[in-house]
Amino acid sequence: IYIFVVMCFHDMGVHGDSLTILQAPEFVSFQKGEWPVSGEKIPDLVALTMGFSVQEDLAWPGLRAASLFQRPRANVLVVVRGVDSLTLPQSVASYHLENPVPFTLDDVAETVHSLFAEDTPVVLQLAPSEERLYMLGKANAVFEDLPVTLQQIRARLSQDGSVLTSLPLNSLSRNAEADLLFLSEVQVLHDITALLLRHKHLARDHSPDIYSLELSGLEELGRVYGQDSPQYRDATAILASVLQKSWYWEREGSLHHNLFKCLLVWI
């Protein structure tokens, strides 16, 4: 049981920033409607869906119910910068995001780590474009070989298992800097899945896992080529496919027995 959430951010909140629930277990219920949510409340929203308490009442009608007796086995939060939204037809619900201020899931991660210290929670927060990585607990062992710096990730693109051999690149170039940044982020998503498939016992234990990923490759493609460019359109289609099918939707679903929550944020 896991939750998959995508957040999209566009030009620091000038356009249609959004929060999309890609998948959620039955005991975490989201109600469709025109209920905006503030970016600063995202950590509290994640905590509540995982059965943890928060200091202030969220008072947001979009979250209809969360169980005190069941919690998602994983919470996946993906922040996508530089796009209003992605086409994700199988999503549970989508909401307008107000005041998309910077936030982290550090407090939620610390709660998980303290409550399940004797178990094997995986806590991974990653922003490839900023070469920023934060890990706790067993994640330190599972992801110790995960490429972190852009130089490492780009080198990974030329090795066995590279996404370049399977993605429909179309207008995207293997040599352009902006294109490589985007493809590097897709490679990281692919490698995280591959590592989890090799350590299935971590995904199937009783401790909840947290994944928080921030992607800015689309933002850079839009800046370099424009959002009407074939490069931007092709990259948008690739990322939507990776998020909904290739990565957590199919592979992680089987790992966590569909007991997950995913939040997607477009900025």
pLDDT value at residue 261: 60
The length of the chain in residues reads 267
Q: Tokens 């990565």 appear where?
A: 247
Listed as ranges, residues in the chain with pLDDT below 50 are 12-15, 246-253, 257-259
Alpha carbon distance 211, 187 (integer Å) = 16
Q: Is the pTM of this model over 0.85?
A: yes
Cα–Cα nearest to 243, from 133, 91, 102: 91
pLDDT value at residue 135: 82
* Domains held by the chain: number: 1
User: What residue ranges in the chain does DSSP mark as E strands?
Assistant: 2-9, 18-23, 29-30, 37-38, 63-65, 74-81, 93-98, 122-127, 132-137, 209-215, 260-266
CA pseudo-torsion sign 219, 223, 225, 229 = positive
CA pseudo-torsion sign 157, 244, 19, 39 = negative
Is 151 buried (19+), middle (13-18) or exposed (0-12) by CB count in 10 A? exposed
Report the mean per-residue pLDDT for the chain. Answer: 83
Query: Which residues constitute the domain of residue 70?
Result: 2-266
In contact, 196 and 138? CB cutoff 8 Å = no
pLDDT value at residue 162: 94
pLDDT value at residue 88: 80
Q: CA triplet 24, 205, 109: central angle to 5 degrees?
A: 65
pLDDT value at residue 176: 97
